Structure 1
Amino acid sequence: MDDDLDAAKLAIHAALGDIGFERDFTRRAKCLYTGVLDKAGLAVPVSIEVTDFDFLEYPEIRIAPQYVLPDRKLPHILGIEQSVCYYARGTVVLDRYNPAGTVLQCLKKCEEVIRDAVRGRLNDDFADEFGSFWSSVNSLADLPGEADGVGSVKYIRLGPGKEPVPVLAKDESWLWSRDPANGGKGQGEPAFIVRTNAALSINPNAKWPPGNVTELDRWLTWNDPTLGGKMQVALAKGGGDVGVLAVKASNGLFLCRAVVPVPYRTKEILENRRGNMAKNLTRIGSKISVERISSAPVDSSYVFGRNLHGSSNLADKRILLIGCGTIGGFLAQQLAQCGAGAGKGELTLVDPDSLYPANLGRHLLGAPYLYDNKARACAEFIGSQLPPLNIRAVPDYVERVGIFSDRHDIVIDATGEEALSIALNHRAVRERPASPPIMFVWLEGNGAVAKSLLTGQPTHACLKCLKPKLAAAARHRTLKSEESIVIERNAACGDGAYVPFPVSRSVGAAAMACDHVLDWVNGVHGDRLRSRTFDNAKAYIVPDSSPKPSTDCPACGKSHA
């Protein structure tokens, strides 16, 4: 390892020496060099320091302090140290096996960035990277897409021992409800929410950042003339000495917080002359300091839609999930994260069983839920992690739950209990077309392969079509040997017989089923029978397909005979 490091340093030393860079021997412990970029043009003196020879961290390149930059804000040149952001973190993979070439590559890119920044070619980048310039103070915003007008910022503790976080919302927020002491009525600070089609950016020819209301007003007006005076309006509408302006721009949501100076917190100014307050605040704007706060969305539409690339999520759908065990627990969480139970929808969880110590090794839930009913516990756990969802727990047997198309859009059987699945399938076939589609998901062997099947259409196979005779082989054989299945029993702790397999197989089966449900809601029916092989030694890799009904099927075969 030391030999590799020494070799990398020697290669870097030789490469930098070839382009006229010299080692800074005043700091021998560092791999630090100085030299000049763009020698024929701007002649910019810089230093480059390599701190990570795996190049997970890019070499730090700084413009020398004696170099006089233009008297305006330059994109990608940060702070008083004049550090150059030549690659955004994580956007480029640098070659650790070619340290010399990597360092020269970074210097070349840095030279391009400095040259273009000084010549004004990168000013549009301010808008793209505006969030990094605005503030390091974070807040959360629970706002619907078209929200504007009066709102509130409340300082919420998201968990025991957590520091309060500013949360902006209109009339209510799921995060406010997590902390009644700080999120209740009358708590927090008044906010005024405005919208603009402009992308907020930095005026390179003006002072940055704005430190008071006067400077903020100039900057807002430069971005969009309609934003001028909005900070004063926010303070005036608040009715107190504090106001928050939230600007919803095309490149994000940005907050400004201002406090009326103590000499102006008089009854005469704050009450009797409320109509003139905005005008008075403009007059003393240079004396009112401004705090800048960045914001990230946490509203339901963002949380449940961000990761779906424009596809439909599961909001407004009525989903019945039967079984909250090793597959069903993880599937319930994934469905919820895709919006199940949001809007006018409902996610119903059905399971009569409780969580026992033996379940902990491959279940969504942990020790705090031991001996609780699985359906209720999953509903409680998921509800504590996400925006409000309509999740209904039924701690009962599915035989007592009505399954009808006017009550459920889709039913998912994740019990993995073959007898129950056959009974559900038979019931669904007999009740067609009143029965909603049913998706079955299960594991075969010792978790060697996961399968899911979407049923409901008479033109496609029902569950029993896959294996018309219980004692016979399946039509679509997956396992290489049925005899290889291991079944264990821990008699000492009173467990029933069980099939051992790692939790990764449960998560994989749940993920496959979740993808299958998302395809269903987006009208991508594709292959109705899907499989994912995890153990190639025990199971075949079987292509996905949409099998036709079997005339030998005792459940639906008569209708196709």
Structure 2
Amino acid sequence: MTASRLALALRKLDELGFKPIKRPGSARCFVGELPCARGPVKVRFEISDWEFTTYPTLIILERPPFLPALTPHVSGDGFQCYFVQGRVVLDRYRPDNAIWQCVEQARRELDRLSGSPIYRAREFEQEFGATWEIGQHPLPIPVLLADVTGDGAVPCFGIGADVGLYIIAASNEAQVKALAAARGWPSPTRRKIGTYIVRSAKSPTVPNERLPATIAEVFTWIKSWDVAAMRRIHAVLGQREWLGFNAVQFLIESPAGWFGFFFDLNPNRALAHRRKPSGYRQHLYSKGRELPIIRVSVRQISPDFIHSRNLQFPSLKDRHITLIGCGAIGGYLAQALVKLGAGSGAGSLRLIDPDDLAPGNLGRHVFGMDSLYKSKAVALQEALIRQFPHAQIVAEPRRAAYPSDIAGDLVIDATGEEAVSEAINANRHSVPSAEGARVLHIWIVANGEGVQALWVDQRKYACFRCMRQNDLARSKRFHVVDHEPETRIAGCNAYTPYAISAPMSASALAIDMIIDWLKGDVSPRFRTRSIEGADIRKIKNQNVSPLEGCPGCSLP
């Protein structure tokens, strides 16, 4: 930052009543007051990034009486979060205004939090995961939550890694082992921690003073906002099973997200009450004010969470997808399909390709030298399972078989070979459905000037063969380029050169059409995309009508 701009920033801080102080570290620190509506709040303002790519830090030094002890966006150490990171861009060229924005936003937020119980309660619910960590030292124990079925008991595993111990709750031990193998961690071991899932349809309410720190406080608090959830906890504590553990944790799902709490068991008392567990339960109720808990931070790692978190529509979970062609287009497309949920739940992803990865493929394929001369299908399967070990992915290094491979919820033709596309199209009627199999064809135009896709699912729309005229030359029905693409000869083989952007663009087009299918309407079924400046005709994206007399629209 230039000296003149720095001077502007320092002048603004002085105008706002902030005075510089010396503290260890590289940040420049200032102390002042926020002029809140109900009284001043003494704070420290720290700037370590004068580019303003991150926001200045604001710490409340003296909590005023009007600010509740439990306040969303304010940590136990007084750190206030006043902007969602990245939501507001501070102007590095006007540092005086950037500083004013931060100070003013912090003041406004404290006014809202202290003046409106409704706003405070809403913010508490929306930020519950972060709020659950306030005031506990050390921070809450992180528990990784994989797939869990129903309510009640669920196995608990531990994985020792370089960064420490991971605690994982999962119904399926194989899922935990696969995660450990994918990360190169040691094999998981069962932990003697009784772990119980409790689900609530109600959102937690704001505690009066602080988050619960004892068994009595957490039981009273849960009962205050969901009596049914507390009854389920009460029922668990009436069973013998939990007394066989060293500790117990309850993981609770609510509309505000997952959270939990953990407490140790007294081994002697647990042994004494094995025949009558309600006796230990009564001890928890009667002595609960003296028995501490540790709040648990729950971090979901289940396939449902991973593949649905960023979506506003259903994922590919439980769908059976067949991808024919694992080359340049198919490699990128397969990765996107798995991220979209293919192979999760009861679904599967089949990868079919007869070829190995040759040196000439590496310049435009998703893989590199580490997969040289490996089967494209197998290399893709192995890579995807390393990334998503829960996915059900089958590699079949062979040519497509007709009609047996034309099956499932969706068949994707990413071969870029018209003869194969014709065969897939001709055999789609083998599916026992009035409309035939659902097929998506995706291909690259010429030398990468554009990409096209055709979705075939109903007889009232064009099939792949409808894209050619019925003349002897099989003329294209929609002319995209007027010139012949460059083709290069290598021995008895030929290939069409195109840059890496072409298969990536084709994959993106295919995924967009699949997303539209998941949303309920895949129209327009025929789509063209071109690169800027390409010598290519503009083709309207549309639902194409069948070609009269098309042989592919009839049964083979």
TM over 0.5: yes
> Given that residues 203 and 219 in structure 1 are in contact (C-alpha distance below 8 angstroms), is that contact kept between their aligned partners in structure 2?
yes
Moved more, 414-423 or 363-372: 363-372
- 1:289-339 deviation digits (Å, cap 9, x = unpaired): 322221133333333333331x23333333322111111122223223323
Which secondary structure state, in structure 1, belongs to the residue aligned with residue 168 of structure 2? strand
Cα contact 1:236–1:277 (8 A) shared by 2: no
Q: How does 1:27-426 map to 2 (within 5 A)?
A: 30-38=27-35, 41-65=38-62, 72-80=69-77, 82-119=78-115, 121=117, 122-124=119-121, 125-135=123-133, 136=139, 137-143=141-147, 147-156=150-159, 163-170=164-171, 172=173, 174-179=175-180, 182-183=187-188, 187=191, 189-205=193-209, 208-228=210-230, 230=233, 233=237, 237-238=241-242, 239-261=244-266, 264-265=267-268, 268-269=271-272, 271-309=274-312, 311-386=313-388, 388-399=390-401, 402-403=404-405, 407-426=407-426
CA distance in 2, matches of 1:252, 1:456: 39
Contact 2:516 2:522 in 1 (8 A): yes
Distance change (3 Å), C-alpha of 1:470 and 1:21:
farther
- In 2, the alpha carbon distance for the partners of 1:234 and 1:183 equals 29
Most deviating of 133-142 and 362-371 = 362-371
Structure 1 distance, partners of 2:386, 2:162, is: 17
Partner secondary structure for residue 114 of structure 1: helix
Q: 8 Å contact 2:41–2:63 — kept in the other structure?
A: no
Change (3 A) 1:282 1:478: same
Q: 1:288 to 1:355 in 2, by over 3 A?
A: farther
For 1:496-511, list aligned pairs within 5 A: 496-511=493-508
Q: Which moved more, 1:347-356 or 1:264-273?
A: 264-273
CA drift at 1:52: 2.0
- 2:440 aligns to what? 439
Q: Is the 8 A contact 1:255 1:294 kept in 2?
A: yes
- Scaled by the length of structure 2, the TM-score of the pair is 0.84
Deviation at 1:254, TM superposition (A): 1.0
Kept in 2, the 8 Å contact 1:189–1:242? The answer is yes
Q: What is the distance in 2 between the residues matched to 1:521 and 1:60? A: 43
Over the matched positions of the two proteins, sequence identity in percent amounts to: 27
Secondary structure at the counterpart of residue 501 of structure 2: helix
- CA gap of 1:523–1:108, structure 2 versus 1, over 3 A, is closer
Cα distance change of structure 1 residues 266 and 496 upon mapping to structure 2, 3 Å threshold: farther
Contact 1:203 1:222 (8 Å CA) reproduced: no
- SS for the counterpart of 1:48 is strand
Q: How far apart, in 2, do the equivalents of 1:556 and 1:154 lie? A: 55
Q: Give, as a single letter, the amino acid of the residue that structure 1 aligns with 2:301.
A: V
Cα displacement string for residues 448-495 of structure 1 (whole angstroms, at most 9, x for unaligned residues): 211111225343323233233685763322235325x35375x8xxx9
d(CA) in 2 for partners of 1:204 and 1:252?
Answer: 20
Read off the aligned partner of 1:282 and give its amino acid letter: Y
- Alpha-carbon offset, residue 163 of structure 1: 4.7
Asked whether the equivalents of residues 70 and 211 of structure 2 are also in contact (C-alpha less than 8 Å), the reply is: no
Gaps of 5+ in 1: none
TM-score by length of 1: 0.83
- The amino acid across from 1:147 in the alignment is G
Q: 1:367–1:134: structure 2 CA closer, same or farther, 3 Å change rule?
A: farther
Return the offset for 1:353.
1.3
Give the CA RMSD over aligned residues.
3.6
Shift of residue 42, structure 1, vs aligned partner: 0.3
- Contact 1:260/1:288 (CA < 8 Å) preserved in 2? no
Task: Measure how far apart 1:149 and its partner are.
Answer: 1.0
Amino acid at match of 1:481: H
Aligned mates of 1:74, 1:148 — CA distance in 2: 31
CA gap 1:50/1:541 in 2 versus in 1, 3 angstroms: farther
CA distance in 1, matches of 2:545, 2:441: 16
Q: Deviations over 1:375-405 (max 9, x none)?
A: 233233323333634433322211455255x
Structure 1 residues 33 and 248 mapped into 2: Cα distance closer, same or farther (>3 Å)? same
Q: Aligned partners of 1:293, 1:169: CA distance in 2, in Å?
A: 16
Residue 12 of structure 2 is aligned to residue 8 of structure 1: no
Q: In the alignment, residue 274 of structure 1 is paired with which amino acid?
A: P
